[in-house]
């Protein structure tokens, strides 16, 4: 059976995040997996701690929506001496963005950087931001997105 590509690994993982599929997340994480929230200065070590946080989320779990995945597969080139060489730079690093909707009705934008190692997610780094009203003073230079 062929090994899944990094893109396939990330898409499966993001799907499991959105649905809180703990079994798929656990099988897709390295043993030394960590997740960071730079805005709050927190680091979660290990799948069990992440599951405990999700299981104890006040007022119910948030849901993920509209995720997009960004990255590119590893590339390989042949050198002048006919040596096959991997071009490193993006194969193990992926980005996804979307929104999280919380039981209280609030919706936050989110972005996550995923780093793979050995065909599993090794590190995650999450960024969150609430929506806000655009200031009127910028209106002449921007177009409104819907």
CB atoms within 10 A of CB 69: 17
pLDDT digits (tens, 9 = 90+) for 62-106: 888 888 887 776 555 555 554 454 444 467 888 888 888 888 989
Least-confidence region, from 30-44, 45-59, 98-112: 98-112
CB 87 within 8 A of CB 111: no
pLDDT of residue 124: 94
Residue 14 has pLDDT above 80, yes or no: yes
* Domains contained in the chain, CATH given: 6-131 (3.10.450.50)
For residue 33, name the pLDDT band (cuts at 50, 70, 90).
very high
Two structure tokens written together for 37: 């929230």
């Amino acid at each position: 059976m062929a090994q899944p590509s990094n893109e396939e690994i990330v898409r499966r993982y993001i799907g499991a995040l959105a649905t809180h599929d703990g079994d798929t997340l656990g099988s897709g994480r390295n043993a030394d997996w960590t997740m960071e929230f730079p805005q709050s200065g927190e680091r979660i070590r290990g799948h069990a701690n992440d599951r405990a946080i999700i299981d104890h989320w006040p007022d119910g779990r948030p849901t993920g929506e509209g995720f997009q995945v960004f990255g590119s597969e590893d590339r390989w080139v042949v050198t002048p001496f006919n040596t096959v060489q991997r071009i490193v730079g993006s194969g193990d690093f992926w980005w996804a963005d979307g929104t999280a909707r919380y039981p209280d009705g609030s919706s936050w934008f989110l972005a996550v950087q995923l780093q793979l190692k050995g065909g599993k997610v090794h590190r995650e780094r999450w960024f969150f931001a609430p929506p806000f009203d655009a200031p009127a003073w910028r209106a002449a230079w921007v177009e409104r997105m819907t």
